[in-house]
């Protein structure tokens, strides 16, 4: 084999190696800093999300009211819930109606569950003082979260508020199973 051909093959191998290393580095950066997949585990977000749904978590930005977020829960697990209260908010439920800072809010994502009820309210009455939060308002740097399956969700009514530092990101895209690809809100 002549030296020219050998040098060309080494250069081609080096170029492929560099391309592969760059691709792996970009994938790692995207995975750790921008987006990550998550699998819904359980039924606390039913009917919006289903057990086994695979979603994309957006790690950029700050969650807003009613966003679906993924966070590190106190039980050393990641939970997926909906942001209800932001720092400084008062949160209260009366007669199956959400009140934030004294104003009633519609929750269209709960309509299907409310229509299927045969025995009363979907969400029991409470104020923040009656939850582990124990204060009148959501503390600074924290959010109050609830699952959409209000009768079967371990959320801020049980574990208290969530530090914004524990939030991995928000999510609104179900990409698996294929027949259920959708945007959720």
Catalytic amino acids? Answer: 44, 81
* DSSP code string of 134-172: -SSSPPTTEEEEE-SSGGG--SHHHH--EEGGGEEEEEE
Contact status, residue 22 vs residue 29, Cβ threshold 8 Å: no
Q: What angle do CA 8, 13, 14 make, to 5 degrees?
A: 95
Sheet holding 91-94, edge to edge: 103-105, 97-100, 91-94, 126-127
Contact status, residue 125 vs residue 94, Cβ threshold 8 Å: yes
Contact status, residue 84 vs residue 66, Cβ threshold 8 Å: yes
């Amino acid at each position: 084999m002549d030296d020219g051909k050998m040098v060309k093959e080494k250069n081609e191998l080096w170029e492929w190696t560099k391309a592969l290393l760059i691709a792996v580095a970009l994938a790692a950066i995207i995975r750790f800093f921008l987006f990550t997949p998550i699998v819904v585990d359980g039924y606390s977000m039913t009917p919006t999300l289903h057990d086994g749904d695979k979603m994309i978590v957006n790690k950029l930005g700050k969650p807003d009211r009613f966003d679906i977020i993924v966070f590190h829960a106190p039980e050393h697990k990641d939970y997926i819930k909906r942001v209800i209260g932001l720092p400084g908010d008062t949160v209260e439920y009366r007669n199956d109606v959400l009140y934030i800072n004294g104003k009633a809010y519609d929750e269209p994502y709960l309509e299907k569950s409310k229509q299927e009820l045969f025995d009363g309210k979907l969400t029991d009455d409470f104020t923040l003082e009656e939850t582990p939060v124990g204060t009148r308002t959501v503390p600074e740097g924290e959010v109050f979260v609830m699952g959409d399956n209000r009768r079967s969700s371990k959320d801020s009514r049980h574990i208290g508020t969530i530090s914004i530092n524990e939030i991995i990101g928000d999510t609104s895209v179900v990409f698996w199973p294929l027949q259920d690809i959708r945007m959720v809100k």
